[in-house]
Every structure is written in structure tokens, then in C-alpha cells.
Amino acid sequence: MAPRPGNDPSLLEGYLSALRFLKGLGIETLPIPKEAPMPTSQVTVPSAPEEPSAPKTGRDPARLLAELEASLADCARCKLAKGRAKLVFGEGSPRADLMFVGEGPGRDEDLQGRPFVGRAGQLLTRIINAMKMKRDNVYIANIVKCRPPGNRNPEPDEVTACMPFLMRQIEIIRPRVICALGSVAFQALMETKAPISKFRGTLYPWREGIYLMPTYHPAYLLRNPAKKRDVWEDVQVIMKFLEDAA
């Protein structure tokens, strides 16, 4: 469930980071508009699924994710395996309501074995903080789990080889919303070749009670700062949706 503001002093730095991020977007006034730009004709708030507790069902998403990650330790299912330093599985809350999916690890991620830890990752962290969340509250993964050479886009055969494992992560976590960061993630998850620019800003029913929001990749924002405002509008839609669904 999405966290709400409270008296926890540990959230102060997150709020300050959010304000700094908003200022960087050129947003000088608050509060956020009461009506988020969500097209009600396309999106409805799903009822929370009735799920038995983990002790009764034996379902432990943290354990299931750990087992899945262990099964990929020596993965050589595509050519990306030859050049990797570390496999980048994903990280965050195993019960996250919000999941971010990018395209693939970069140099810093490949060295550390963690997703979104370079410059683009630092920007993503600021976006998450601006949403009044922390990285620990969400889950972050990529379409492919090994770094493409020269940070090129993953090729179709690489996406095909890795997608089953991302889909299994999604199945285990059961997020309410997936935020697809960039065209590669959007096109792979939606099985389309359509440009992301025509679809960002709208929540789309995806599957099994999960909704998908396409938005620009943080690396794209570093090259095109003017697009930060678009991303802020997109994440406001997510925030409103999660608040209404809580």
C-alpha cells in the first residue's frame, strides 16, 4: 500500500528531496492540482484483491524472488551474458504497489549488480522521493538483466530470452502499477512498436489487475531536461491512482 505522510522523521529528507526535484522541473508553486490528468474513460480503480496471509498459503514473495534470482546466477541464455560483470536482477519491496521497469543495466549497474544507480538512477530516486516514497517502497527492474554493449538498446532476441524472468518477477510482486521507463520497456511490455510519446501520461489496463504507465526514461531526461515536467505529470497520475486504490 502506498505510504502516507506521518510523523516519521526519516521521511523529512525525502520531502526535501522532492521539493528540490520539483524546483528543478521549474515548478515553483504548490499544492498539486486536485484533479490529476487521468482519463476516467480508460482507467478505473480496481478493488484490492483478497489474498490470504503468507503463513496460510506459504506464499512468501521475498523468498520466491530470491529463488528466482538464484536460478539466474549462471544465466547464459543470450549473448549479453558474455560481457557482463554482474547480473542485475532488481531490488525493492517484494510487495510493492508500484514497480519501475527500465530497459537494461548501464556501466554502473553492471559493476554494482543493482538497477538504476548511475546518474539516471539518481534522478529516478529523486522522482520516487518526489512521489513521497522511498526506493525501498517500490520495486525496480529492467527488461534485460545484463548490460548491452555500449549501452545500446537490447536486441529482440535478448528481450525474448529475458522477458520470462521479468514476467515472473511481476507475477510474484503483484504491483498495482508498472511504470515503464522509456520506449524499450513500454514496447516490450505492451508488445507494440508505437512511439512512447503518443501514449505517455495515461494509465492503461495491462493484465491481472495491473495498470501500466509509460513515461520517459531518466537517461532521456538528462539529455532533455524540458521533458521533466511531462514525467512529473505522469507520476502524479500514478500517485492519484494509488491513493484512490488504497
**Residues 140-179: tens digit of each pLDDT:** 999 999 999 999 999 999 999 999 999 999 999 999 999 9
Are the C-beta atoms of 231 and 222 separated by less than 8 Å? no
**Residues 173-197: tens digit of each pLDDT:** 999 999 999 999 999 999 999 999 9
- pLDDT, position 74: 94
Question: Interhelix angle for 183-190 vs 156-173, to 10°?
Answer: 70
Please state, in angstroms and rounded to a whole number, the distance separating the CA atoms of residues 83 and 64. 27
pTM of this prediction?
0.79
Please state, in angstroms and rounded to a whole number, the distance separating the CA atoms of residues 167 and 173. 10
For the chain, list the domains and their CATH numbers: 61-245 (3.40.470.10)
Q: Please report where in the chains the cell 528531496 appears, as a residue.
A: 17
Please state, in angstroms and rounded to a whole number, the distance separating the CA atoms of residues 179 and 98. 7
Contacts (Cβ under 8 Å, ≥6 apart) of 176: 46, 97, 98, 209, 210, 211, 241, 242, 245
**Residues 119-138: tens digit of each pLDDT:** 999 999 999 999 999 999 99
Report CA torsion sign: 204, 95, 229, 31: positive
User: Which alpha helices (H) appear in the chain, and where do they start and end?
Assistant: 12-24, 54-57, 61-71, 107-112, 119-130, 156-173, 183-190, 218-223, 228-245
Contacts (Cβ under 8 Å, ≥6 apart) of 63: none
**Residues 4-63: tens digit of each pLDDT:** 444 454 445 555 555 565 565 555 544 333 333 333 333 333 333 334 334 435 589 999
Count CB atoms within 10 A of the CB of residue 178.
Answer: 27
53 vs 111 pLDDT, higher one: 111
- pLDDT, position 53: 36
Which of 1-5, 204-208, 232-236 shows the lowest per-residue confidence on average (mean pLDDT)? 1-5
Question: 231-234 long-range contacts, Cβ below 8 Å, gap at least 24?
Answer: 231/127, 232/22, 232/25, 232/27, 232/127, 232/130, 233/37, 233/201, 234/179, 234/200, 234/201
Mean pLDDT of the chain: 84
- pLDDT, position 54: 40
What would the grid cell of residue 37 be? 490528468
Please state, in angstroms and rounded to a whole number, the distance separating the CA atoms of residues 31 and 76. 49
**Residues 71-85: tens digit of each pLDDT:** 999 999 999 999 999
